[in-house]
Amino acid sequence: MSVFKKIINREIESNIVYEDDLVIAFLDISQATKAHTLVVPKKDYQNIYQLDEKTAGHLFKVVVKISQAIKKAFQPDGLNIVNNNGAVAGQSVFHYHIHIIPRYKGDDFSIKYVNHSQDYSKEDFIKIKETIINSLS
Ligand code: 5GP
């Protein structure tokens, strides 16, 4: 059983900030930044590919609601929404979750985006776009 399922079942302690029938939100134990919060569906979805539409929609509403509460409470200078899927993407708990990471000037959190646009021709972009479009079902 995942650590988040144990939190949902109250088998281990956590600092819960919100809960309803479908989702729960609690402080991430690492506190990458102050008020770093996780929003988690109660059902055992491992990753984004397993999420159903109803849960996904509701989950994001809760993410917005909690982000607004954190903004009101702590006045961060910015905020990242992060979701890791798969170990290679940094996922360490295999129960779906969204990180709300408030950002404060001078904090030490980072996500690095490297610009690789020079490696792609206009045709490459079109080909990638069309491949995605063709995969939408
Ligand atoms: P991931 O790396 O899977 O995207 O994120 C997992 C997160 O779960 C990490 O940020 C980690 O700090 C958090 N975490 C792991 N174990 C616990 C725990 O027992 N309690 C809480 N509140 N958070 C946890």
Instruction: Provide the CATH number for the domain around residue 53.
Output: 3.30.428.10
Residue 45 in any domain: the answer is yes
Residue 18 in any domain: the answer is yes
Determine which residue's CA is closest to atom 21 belonging to ligand 1: 29
Q: What mean pLDDT value characterizes the chain?
A: 97
Residue 88 in any domain: the answer is yes
Residue 128 in any domain: the answer is no
Determine which residue's CA is closest to atom 12 belonging to ligand 1: 30
Residue 37 in any domain: the answer is yes
Residue 33 in any domain: the answer is yes
Give residue-wise pLDDT tens across range 96-124. Answer: 999 999 999 999 999 999 999 999 999 99
pLDDT at 1: 87
Is the model's pLDDT at 137 over the cut of 90?
no
pTM of the model: 0.97
Residue 127 in any domain: the answer is no
**Domain encompassing residue 82:** 3-109
Residues whose beta carbon lies within 6 Å of some atom of ligand 1: 3, 12, 14, 26-30, 84, 90-93
Distance CA 130, CA 128 (A): 5
Total of domains in the chain: 1
Distance CA 112, CA 27 (A): 24
Which atom of ligand 1 is least distant from the CA of 83? Answer: 4
